[in-house]
Amino acid sequence: MFVNQSRLPHVLPPRLYCCAEQFELEQEKIFATAWQYVAATEQLNKPGDFVTANVNGLPVIVRNFDGKLRAFLNVCPHRHSLLTNEAAGNTPQLECQYHGWQFGSDGATKRIPEAGTFKPMPGGAECLRSLQLASVGPCVMVRSADAAELPEEQWPLLKERFDEFPVQRWQHVRSWDYEFPANWKIVAENTVESYHVPTVHPKTLVRFGSEEEMEHNLAEQSSSMHSPIVSPKLYHWTTQRLLPWLELGLNNRYNIYHAFPNLFWIRIDAMLQVMQVLPLAAERSKMQVSVFVLRGRKPNLINKAISRGWGRFKVAIIKRVLAEDARLFPGLQQGARNSPFAGTISTREELVHNFQSYVARACELDELLKV
C-alpha cells in the first residue's frame, strides 16, 4: 500500500534543479557531512590494499592496516602533495609519493627520510588528517567532515536489510560510472519512482506491482519501496532453476532503499546494486554503480559458476535499464529549465515527495514546506 492517499505537491520548484545558488547551498547544507560510498569492502581485503576517492571535493585515501580500515585526507603534511595519484593498489607502507614520508594506522609519521634535517618538528610527529569511516553491508563509506549520526542511526530501514546476509556472502562483481547532463535530484527522483516503468522500461523491467502488492516506507532520512516485478518469462524460469543453489527462498521482489541524500541500495533475488549520484554542477551529475552477487552458502564449483554467471547477467540488464533512463535526462533537465508549471506528484511517486521534502528541510527552505 502507499502511505498517502491523495496527490502531493511538487515541493521543489523547477529552478532549484538548474541554478548555481541552489547547487552551492546543497553542497554546504547536504553534502558537507554526507556519507559517501568509496569502495566495496572486498576491494580492501588484504593488508596494504588502498583506494583513493573524491569525497565532497576532498581527495581521500582508505587503506587496510593489518585488517583495520582507516580513512585519511590524501594530502601530505610535509609539502601538501597527494600521498598517491593511483586509484587503487597495494603497498607495504602508506608512503607519500613525493619524498617518502611514511605513516602508521593512526596517521602519525613512522619514518621520515633524513629526519634529523627537520628538527625540531613543529607539531611533534606530523599527522595525516583522519576521516570518519563506516561499513554498510559490503560497502565502505567515508565522510569529509565529522557529524554525530552513524549510518545505522541515520538509515534504520537499511540496517534491517543488511542483517539478512553477512558481508562475506556478497561478492563484488563490477563498479562503473556515468556522467549525466542533469541535476543530481532529477537522477535521484527517477531512481525511486515506479510510475515511469511501463513507458520507459517496457521490455526490461516490464511493470511493477499494483498498489495492493507494493509497500512504501517513508522516513525522515530514507525511503524504501518493495514491489513484485513482472519480468520476462525466461527470467522467471532461470531464477527458479538456478538461484536455489545459492540460497533458498530468493524471489524477484524489487527492494529499493534510498538513503538520503544520494545513495540507493537495490536488492532483487541474489543481486545487490549500490548506486550513488553526485552533483558535479547545477546541471551535471555523476552516477557510480557497484554490483554485488550473493555467494552460495557452501563454496563449491557449481555455486561459484552460478554466482559468476548471475553477476554478469545482472550487470548486462542494469546497463540496459540505466541506458533507458539516461536517454531521458537531457530532456528532463531542459524541461526543468523552461517549465512554467508547479508540477504535481502521485501517491505512486510519494518517495519523490519524501525526498524533495528532505531537500527543502535540509536547505532550510521552509516556505516550500508550507504548501
Helix or strand holding residue 158 (H, E): helix 156-162
- 10 Å CB burial of residue 159 (0-12, 13-18, 19+) is middle
- Find the binder of ligand FES among 12, 55, 76, 259 (CB under 6 A): 76
Backbone angles phi, psi at 130, to 5 degrees: -80, 145
Question: Measured from the CB atom, is 7 or 111 closer to ligand FES?
Answer: 111
The answer to whether 318 contacts ligand FES (rule: CB under 6 A) is no
Write the interaction track for ligand FES spanning residues 83-112; mark x where CB under 6 A is met and - where it is not.
-------------x-xx-x-----------
Q: Which grid cell sits at 307?
A: 554466482
Please report, as a single letter, which amino acid is at residue 220.
E
Q: Tell me: does residue 78 bind ligand FES (CB under 6 A).
A: yes
Q: Provide the pairing of β-strand 344-345 with 8-9.
A: antiparallel
> Are 14 and 282 within 8 A, CB to CB?
no
Residue 236 C-beta: closest distance to Fe ion, Å: 21
Residue 260 binds to ligand FES (criterion: CB under 6 A) = no
The reply on whether position 283 binds Fe ion by CB under 5 A is no
Sign of CA dihedral 115, 120, 122, 123: positive
Distance between start and end Cα atoms, the chain: 24
Q: Residue 49 or 325: which CB sits closer to Fe ion?
A: 325
Show the binding pattern over residues 293-332: x = contacts Fe ion (CB under 5 A), - = does not.
--------------------------------x-------
- 8 A C-beta contact, residue 23 and residue 279: yes
Of 80 and 203, nearer to ligand FES (C-beta) is 80
Q: Which stretch binds ligand FES (CB under 6 A): 72-80, 231-239, 304-312, 318-326?
A: 72-80
Number of residues interacting with Fe ion: please give it, by CB under 5 A: 1
- In 201-347, alpha helices (H): 233-242, 301-326, 329-338
Q: Which is nearer to ligand FES, 74 or 307 (CB)?
A: 74
Which residue do the cell numbers 587503506 mark? 63
Q: Which is nearer to ligand FES, 99 or 320 (CB)?
A: 99
Residue 325's binding partner among Fe ion, ligand FES, none (Cβ under 5 to 8 angstroms by kind) is Fe ion
Please state the three-class secondary structure of 8-45 as a single string: EECCCCHHHHCCHHHHHHHHHHHHCCCCEEEEEHHHHC
By CB under 6 A, tell whether 81 contacts ligand FES: yes
| Residues pairing with 82 in the sheet | 75
81 binds, among ligand FES, Fe ion, none (CB under 5 to 8 A by kind): ligand FES
Distance between CA atoms of residues 63 and 51, nearest Å: 7
Q: Residue 176: which of Fe ion, ligand FES, none does it interact with, CB under 5 to 8 A by kind?
A: none
- Could you tell which of ligand FES, Fe ion, none binds residue 99, using a CB distance below 5 to 8 A set by kind? ligand FES
Question: Rounded to an integer, what distance in angstroms lies between the CA atom of residue 118 and that of residue 204?
Answer: 63
CB of 9 to ligand FES, least distance (A): 53
Between 131 and 141, CB nearer to ligand FES = 131
Asked whether the beta carbons of 142 and 35 are under 8 A apart, the reply is yes
What does the binding site for ligand FES look like in residue numbers (CB under 6 A)?
76, 78-79, 81, 96, 98-99, 101
What does the binding site for Fe ion look like in residue numbers (CB under 5 A)?
325
